């Protein structure tokens, strides 16, 4: 018998958690049915979107990002790198 066979045979089944037993499913009240949100004109407020891509970043942030990209491109020429971004 190998180590794996001994450990599998020697494991005891742990008792289930006393509070983690079956949860009762609550009955849904038909008077309070959820309707899907309407984001059209005059409807709900639209969810917040991540607009960081469109922010006008400070010059030092743009410079350090451009520098990082330039240093990465030095490792591989742009003429070859263009084929890494294909679909």
Prediction pTM value? 0.36
Q: Do the beta carbons of residue 38 and residue 44 sit within 8 Å?
A: yes
Distance CA 25, CA 20 (A): 14
Residue 7, Cα to own-chain centre: how many angstroms?
Answer: 36
| pLDDT recorded at residue 60 | 97
pLDDT in tens, 3-30: 555 555 667 787 777 765 566 677 778 7
Distance CA 68, CA 71 (A): 5
Q: Do the beta carbons of residue 81 and residue 73 sit within 8 Å?
A: yes
pLDDT in tens, 39-63: 888 888 888 889 888 999 999 999 9
| pLDDT recorded at residue 38 | 84
């Amino acid at each position: 018998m190998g180590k794996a066979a001994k450990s599998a045979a020697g494991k005891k089944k742990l008792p289930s958690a006393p509070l983690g037993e079956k949860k009762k499913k609550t009955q849904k009240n038909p008077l309070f049915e959820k309707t899907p949100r309407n984001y059209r004109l005059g409807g709900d407020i639209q969810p917040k979107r991540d607009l960081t891509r469109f922010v006008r970043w400070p010059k030092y942030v743009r410079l350090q990002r451009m520098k990082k990209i330039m240093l990465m491109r030095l490792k591989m020429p742009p003429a070859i790198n263009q084929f890494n971004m294909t679909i």
